[in-house]
A and B are shown apart, each in its own frame.
Chain A
Amino acid sequence: MEYKEKIKGRVWVITDPDGKLFPNIDTDMIFHNSYLAITDINEMGQYIFDNLEGWEDFAKKAQPGDIVVAGSNFGCGSSRQQAVDGFVSLGIQALITESFGAIYFRNAVNMGFPLVRCDNLDTDKIQHMSEIEIDINSGEIKNVETGEIVAEAVPLSNVQKDILKSGSLFKYGKSALG
């Protein structure tokens, strides 16, 4: 993906049936195993979240440029690259959560897809369908309309930044390993 230092977009705040940030969203809820034969990234987006209670129509309503906020341990479960690729295919610009499953995190980093970690996400501050801007360098996430800082991101690791800037693991590997 193309590297951007500031990412601005409309935000989807993914909550569970109790209205809290949806925790432990696993790869089967993101991209169900019945679609695993798909290898064309352009076909993956339509199935994102269709097994996630309350968000089955996400893929139909999401627009390119949107940002997704969800609960902790996002992307736990399988090593499924499609669960990252599907968001890229929909044109989602970034994912913000308190933590990610380890494999999911790598998969996103490797394709240059920005995952943003915040220690404390407050859904009173980040409101569903509001417009926010993420500053990758400072970690500040603000509400575009009010200018209020709504969350602070944990700084990206060096490798995450390097891969983001080079665009993919493959490009990064060519320069890092020669």
Chain B
Amino acid sequence: MGKTILEKIFAKHSKDEVKPGNIIWLELDIRSARDFGGANVVKNFQREYPGEKVADPDKTFFTFDCVAPAVTIPYANNQQICRDWAVEQNVTVFDVDSGIGTHVLIDNGLSAPGTTVVGTDSHMNILGAVCAFGQGMGDQDIAFAFKTGKTWFEVPPTMKIEITGKYEYPTTAKDVTLAVIKKMGASGCLGKAVEYVGETVEKMSLNERITLCSMATEMGAIITLVTPNEDVDNYFREKGITYDIADLTPDADAEYIETVKVDVDGLEPQAAAPYAPDNVKSIKELEGTEINSVFLGSCTNGRYEDFATAAKIAEGNRVKPGVMFRANPSTRGEYGRLIKDGIFDTLFNAGVIMSHASCGGCASGQLGMTGAGEVQLSTSNRNFKGKQGDGQTYLVSPAVAMASAIEGKITLPK
């Protein structure tokens, strides 16, 4: 019987029989911890493996992205626990200047297509965008992975989501992502792996795939995987990384438990209204809703192209006085490109608070919470009650975020 993409990746990383429902020991190419969870990983490791070393320091990383730099003493203490221990263990820390861990791993060629990667970020499965198996895990799981280089995993069944149809700007990959979440709901993919297929997905750039795959967790999916296309191949080839595409393409006789079709032909810009990522409405339904603040960034929409889209709209305009607009690029590398290409300037001149690379407003505590009664637009992936403060958050694309910021209300970009 043929194999799905995930089954192929697992088969290359396990001696056990890979079939849905089986529990296998999986070899991990990369194991990481961010600052949220990191200190607990260290404490678990020290308690369970006193005086011992990690399995492989070259495959073990810390990525500080949530509260970067630390804004409270407890967060600072936790980060320092990780730094001190990393020195002891000879493990690399991508420190508070680096940016969002998953993006740092992609940009450094560490989570290349076909690899297996775990970390304490529940959006680790965003790595499905580059056809890597990424999985968010808790502190104990990661401490165990640091020590053994392995994890137990139940092979999930795979379903297909086929996306077809053409859409035009101002509709973007974010709107397609929200349309998929609307169709599947918060638990529509619970416990399943997903393969995204269809003409619309095949054409998507690496950047767009990252957005699409950044909300797998919001549908309950274990991961959403996409077979690499030329854009992804070129991105990794420039880093000297090549792979056999056959390893990342499902067999013709692979078994799927379900196929769901999503037609995005003529799709209009979308938003997830408070307080759930699957509470998706069309921007037209929400037009005119007054807003108080905007956040551009996160692992979903924090890349160069997302900022470039916002800058195009911002050119010659200004964020409406009274609207607070915060922006954090995904990585230091992307931040540098924004400065070099003048995008930083355009956004700065439009009144945007341009901050450094990190999770920014998406993780609590670092950069701006919402107050009771505040209405925020965010390009991130979660708008649960209380997550980013007492206010209400709508999840939107960078284009909708910027067009709305200029008008001070939810607005369809021209």
Q: Which residues of A line the B interface, CB within 8 A?
A: 23-24, 26, 28-29, 32-34, 36-39, 51, 53, 72-73, 76-81, 84, 99, 101-103, 106-107, 110-111, 157-159, 168-170, 173, 176-177
- Across the interface, do A80 and B365 meet the contact criterion of CB distance under 8 Å? no
- Across the interface, do A79 and B140 meet the contact criterion of CB distance under 8 Å? no
CB distance from A53 to the nearest CB of B (A): 8
Q: How many B residues have CB within 8 A of the partner chain?
A: 47
Q: B120 in the interface, Cβ–Cβ < 8 Å? A: yes
Give chain B residues whose Cβ lies under 8 Å from the Cβ of A33: 36, 363-365, 387
Considering only residues 36-95 of chain B, those with a C-beta below 8 Å from chain A are 36-37, 39-40, 43-44, 48, 66, 72, 74-75, 77-78
Q: Which of A36, A79, A102, A176 contacts B220 (CB 8 A)?
A: A102
- Across the interface, do B386 and A29 meet the contact criterion of CB distance under 8 Å? yes
Give chain B residues whose Cβ lies under 8 Å from the Cβ of A177: 25, 148, 150
CB distance from B177 to the nearest CB of A (A): 17
Give Cα A80 to B40, complex, Å.
Answer: 11
Give chain A residues whose Cβ lies under 8 Å from the Cβ of B152: 159, 176
- Across the interface, do A102 and B78 meet the contact criterion of CB distance under 8 Å? no
- Across the interface, do B141 and A169 meet the contact criterion of CB distance under 8 Å? yes
Give Cα A72 to B39, complex, Å.
Answer: 31
Give chain A residues whose Cβ lies under 8 Å from the Cβ of B385: 28-29, 51, 53
Give chain B residues whose Cβ lies under 8 Å from the Cβ of A36: 36, 66, 364-365
- Across the interface, do B141 and A110 meet the contact criterion of CB distance under 8 Å? yes
- Across the interface, do A24 and B122 meet the contact criterion of CB distance under 8 Å? no
Can you list the 7 inter-chain pairs with the closest CB atoms, starting with the nearest? A37-B74, A107-B138, A81-B138, A33-B364, A73-B187, A79-B136, A79-B122
CB distance from A119 to the nearest CB of B (A): 13
Give Cα A82 to B276, complex, Å.
Answer: 22
CB distance from B134 to the nearest CB of A (A): 12
Q: Which residue of B lies closest to A72 (CB)?
A: B187
- Across the interface, do B138 and A103 meet the contact criterion of CB distance under 8 Å? yes
Tell me whether A106 and B190 are in contact in the complex, defined as CB-CB below 8 angstroms, given that A29-B384, A177-B25 are known contacts: no
Q: Give 6 new A-B contacts, CB below 8 A, not counting A33-B36, A76-B186, A77-B122.
A: A51-B385, A72-B187, A76-B217, A102-B190, A103-B137, A110-B140
Q: B23 in the interface, Cβ–Cβ < 8 Å? A: yes
Give chain A residues whose Cβ lies under 8 Å from the Cβ of B150: 177
What are 19 A-B pairs at a CB distance below 8 A?
A24-B187, A28-B384, A29-B385, A32-B364, A32-B386, A37-B75, A76-B187, A77-B122, A77-B384, A78-B136, A79-B138, A81-B140, A102-B190, A103-B122, A107-B140, A170-B48, A170-B143, A176-B25, A176-B152
Considering only residues 106-155 of chain B, those with a C-beta below 8 Å from chain A are 120-122, 124, 136-141, 143-144, 148, 150, 152, 154
CB distance from A46 to the nearest CB of B (A): 16
Q: Which of A38, A39, A80, A157 contacts B23 (CB 8 A)?
A: A157
Give Cα A28 to B388, complex, Å.
Answer: 10
Give chain B residues whose Cβ lies under 8 Å from the Cβ of A72: 187
- Across the interface, do A81 and B40 meet the contact criterion of CB distance under 8 Å? yes
Give Cα A89 to B41, complex, Å.
Answer: 18
Q: B191 in the interface, Cβ–Cβ < 8 Å? A: yes
CB distance from A42 to the nearest CB of B (A): 13
Q: B272 in the interface, Cβ–Cβ < 8 Å? A: no
- Across the interface, do B190 and A79 meet the contact criterion of CB distance under 8 Å? no
Give chain B residues whose Cβ lies under 8 Å from the Cβ of A176: 25, 152
Give Cα A79 to B387, complex, Å.
Answer: 14
Give Cα A101 to B136, complex, Å.
Answer: 12
Q: B382 in the interface, Cβ–Cβ < 8 Å? A: yes
- Across the interface, do A102 and B144 meet the contact criterion of CB distance under 8 Å? no
Q: Mark B6-40, 1 if CB is under 8 A from A, else 0.
A: 00000000000000000101000000000011011
Q: B294 in the interface, Cβ–Cβ < 8 Å? A: no
- Across the interface, do B190 and A73 meet the contact criterion of CB distance under 8 Å? yes
Give Cα A33 to B384, complex, Å.
Answer: 11
CB distance from A157 to the nearest CB of B (A): 7
Give Cα A84 to B137, complex, Å.
Answer: 12
